[in-house]
Structure 1
Amino acid sequence: MRFSGKTAFITGGGTGIGAAVARRMAKEGANIVLMGRRREPLEAVAGDTNALIVQGDAADANAVRAALKQVHAKFGLVDMLIANAGGHGVGPTISMSDETWALATRTNLDTTFVCARECLPDLISRKGNIVVVASIAGLFAGPAAAGYVTMKHACVGLGKSLARDYGRRGVRTNTICPGWVATAMADEQMQVVVEKHGLASVDEAYRLVTRDVPLGRPATPEEISNVICFVASDEAAMMNGSILTVDGGATVVDLPTLAFVD
């Protein structure tokens, strides 16, 4: 019961990593707040966690402020912000529209910035913490994903800035960078791989994209949530400004040596 009596504000909490974090934290005693644009997935998670659902855009400051009023009325101040909302921004720079670029900015960077800014008074008061869920795309560049790569790099930078500016005020900020995780969003990307290579299934696509990952498979959402929950807990009290890869070893691979692999 590491989170007994604490309140976690989770964006993008209706599916994937966010949903797994909500379920894990609820089991360990946390009050759960789920914010997202689609109500149905949030309701499914709320059924397991007794969460407060706030339907809205986490990049909209007015929506986040209204959400926090509901949180304060039901649970009190926020102890943990899990800035998990993200996605979009696929395509190379030369063909990326202004609309796609703006959407990548809004869904990845603006959601994190706005929620952090609005939650900071609570977090300072409670000596709480922020977990920014970025990606290994925030450390390296995948192909034809200029918007996503750029905004995840920016999320890593924002996490550093928050850690630097608010650590002295008792607020820890750490950033998690997952590799491939078997989620509904990743399944959509796997379908592209299926069609491109004429594969038989999404599972086969996951095997292909993790072929050179030392552990040889994607993570489950629960495996990522395990790390997030540790970082958000008092057990990680000295961690601030950390950037953790949870990628099965993908980022330790020396790409120029792949030709030597049997």
Structure 2
Amino acid sequence: MADSRVVLVTGGGTGIGAATARQLRADGHHVVVSGRRPTPLRIVAEETGALAHPADASDPEAVAGLVAATLEAYGRLDGVVLNAGVGRPGPVGDLDPEDWETVLATNLTGPFHLLRTALPHLLETRGSVVAVASVAALRNGVGNAAYATSKAALLQLCRSVAVDYGPRGVRANTVCPSWVRTEMADRRMNQFAHSAGFGDGAAGIDTAYEKATRLIPAGRPGTAEEVAEAVVWLLSPAASFVNGATLTVDGGVTAVDPGTAAFGFHIETRK
């Protein structure tokens, strides 16, 4: 973004949210980072000069206060990054209803409340929304019913904003990462490593990532900074004709035919 804008980033204390805040601040924009935990937000704020405002993304009153604090600090709102998310593993038959509600409240209903509150201000600035979903919105995995459902619905929520408010200048797009090395993903990999007998600690997590990404053409998990680059681009005027889009930032995994896995999936690097 050539001019200085004001962007609100939920889930901004760690991972993709924190990386997005860093990139936006490096580009000279005002950033408000939000999340449940004050300490990670404070660290990002001290590091980047962003404004930290702790808030539970699933609480409508907290969301309203978050938008109000952003307007009080900067007087406008140009962009919203819907990055806050949680996961609770389990197939439909085993999933605790409380876990289902927790995932939907944070990953879907929270963004709905934030969009309803932010839209009047985004309409004033002809602003932009970027949701961080997941390849789970496009492809499903074992024991991932709540998370995959919430992310698929988040994708459609953003498309609804694009269709309904695009004629008035608001853009809404979604990025769908595959495995990215974040705090949340590390916890999932640690569970995988333990159950699969890969060992505990960093070595076990590294092995789990290696196994989980073996079908990704890139041959590795992504970084939070790689996803942040895509988010920042979608927020910017450089993406002015991109609306209602779904951008996979996945190392090519959604291009793979899973039926080839039985034969072994190998990528050779030829110099």
TM-score by structure 1 length? 0.97
What letter corresponds to residue 207 of structure 1 in structure 2? E
- Matched residue SS, 1:5: coil
Corresponding position of 1:79:
78
- Note if contact 1:83-1:111 (Cα within 8 Å) is conserved in structure 2: no
- Output the CA distance in 2 between the equivalents of 1:104 and 1:71: 26
- Output the CA distance in 2 between the equivalents of 1:105 and 1:43: 27
Alignment of 1:67-216 (within 5 A): 67-200=66-199, 201-216=204-219
Aligned residues: 261
Corresponding position of 2:263:
260
Q: Which whole-Å deviations, capped at 9, do the CAs of 1:87-129 have from their partners, x for residues lacking one? A: 1231111111110010010110012111111110110000000
Corresponding position of 2:236:
233
| Alpha-carbon offset, residue 3 of structure 1 | 5.4
- Quick check: 109-118 or 240-249, which moved more? 109-118
- Output the CA distance in 1 between the equivalents of 2:76 and 2:57: 18
| Alpha-carbon offset, residue 53 of structure 1 | 1.4
- Matched residue SS, 1:10: strand
- Matched residue SS, 2:247: strand
CA 1:247/1:3 → structure 2, altered by over 3 Å: closer, same or farther?
same
What letter corresponds to residue 179 of structure 1 in structure 2? S
What letter corresponds to residue 43 of structure 2 in structure 1? A
Corresponding position of 1:223:
226
What letter corresponds to residue 83 of structure 1 in structure 2? L
CA 1:25/1:3 → structure 2, altered by over 3 Å: closer, same or farther?
farther
Structure 2 spans left out of the alignment, 5+ residues: 267-271
Corresponding position of 2:18:
19
Structure 1 spans left out of the alignment, 5+ residues: none
TM superposition outliers: structure 1 runs of 4+ over 6 Å: none
- Output the CA distance in 2 between the equivalents of 1:136 and 1:3: 30
- Output the CA distance in 1 between the equivalents of 2:33 and 2:219: 32
- Note if contact 1:138-1:150 (Cα within 8 Å) is conserved in structure 2: yes
- Output the CA distance in 1 between the equivalents of 2:175 and 2:56: 22
| Alpha-carbon offset, residue 10 of structure 1 | 0.4
- Output the CA distance in 2 between the equivalents of 1:89 and 1:159: 23
Corresponding position of 2:269:
none
- Note if contact 1:3-1:30 (Cα within 8 Å) is conserved in structure 2: no
Aligned residues with identical type, % of pairs = 42
2:57 counterpart of 1:58? yes
- Note if contact 1:59-1:115 (Cα within 8 Å) is conserved in structure 2: no
- Quick check: 88-97 or 204-213, which moved more? 88-97
Corresponding position of 1:7:
6
- Quick check: 192-201 or 171-180, which moved more? 192-201
How well do the aligned residues superpose, as a CA RMSD in angstroms? 1.1
Corresponding position of 1:49:
48
- Output the CA distance in 1 between the equivalents of 2:228 and 2:25: 12
- Matched residue SS, 1:245: strand
- Matched residue SS, 1:240: coil
- Matched residue SS, 2:52: strand
- Note if contact 2:76-2:121 (Cα within 8 Å) is conserved in structure 1: yes
What letter corresponds to residue 231 of structure 1 in structure 2? L
- Output the CA distance in 1 between the equivalents of 2:86 and 2:141: 14
- Note if contact 2:60-2:110 (Cα within 8 Å) is conserved in structure 1: no
| Alpha-carbon offset, residue 258 of structure 1 | 1.5
- Note if contact 1:129-1:232 (Cα within 8 Å) is conserved in structure 2: yes
What letter corresponds to residue 218 of structure 1 in structure 2? P
Q: Which whole-Å deviations, capped at 9, do the CAs of 1:162-186 have from their partners, x for residues lacking one? A: 1100000100000000000000100
- Output the CA distance in 2 between the equivalents of 1:23 and 1:236: 20
Q: Which whole-Å deviations, capped at 9, do the CAs of 1:45-93 have from their partners, x for residues lacking one? A: 0012212211111222211222222211210111000000011231111
| Alpha-carbon offset, residue 41 of structure 1 | 0.5
